[in-house]
Amino acid sequence: MLIKHPILSLSSTQYKNESLMVPPPVAKKILIPVYRDDIAPRFDLATEVVIAGFNDEEIIDKKVIVLPGASAESLCHFILSQGVEVVICGGIEQEHYDYLTWKNVQVFDSVIGPWKLALEKFVKRKLESGAILLRKPEER
């Protein structure tokens, strides 16, 4: 049985007039190990994470997930199984940093401060590894 491809079977005139639907940009995922309102000081001891979906301009959604226990290996597995592309964290052992970057996960490490502020700075493309983020005095 021969199946015609809808685009390939169009004549050149039909192809020029045919409006092709472009799918919306796919949201990427970012993960931040957290402790209360701040980025967790150590990657391997985090028991809570925030996963946020974002596109090039804004955060689309975010959710807090409580992990069953603190384990760097389990967290790395979770990151890869969830399709996370970016991790913002505090301290992380070189072994886990190297593993995640080898798996094409972008890691911003040694970031200190509120996770919401880190997320905002990341979306604005103003976050760097080693950043120390401070709350405004009225938010303390």
CA distance linking residue 48 with residue 31, whole number of Å: 10
pLDDT of 10 reads 47
Domain boundaries, the chain: 28-139
pLDDT tens track for 35-82: 999 999 999 999 999 999 988 778 899 999 999 999 999 999 999 999
Is this prediction's pTM over 0.85? no
pLDDT, one tens digit per residue, over 90-135 is: 999 999 999 999 999 999 999 999 999 999 999 999 999 999 998 7
Pair 37, 116: CB distance under 8 Å: yes
Report the distance separating Cα 33 and Cα 121, nearest Å.
16
Q: Provide the sign of the torsion angle of the four alpha carbons 40, 62, 29, 127, taken in this order.
A: negative
Q: Does domain 28-139 have CATH number 1.20.120.1200?
A: no
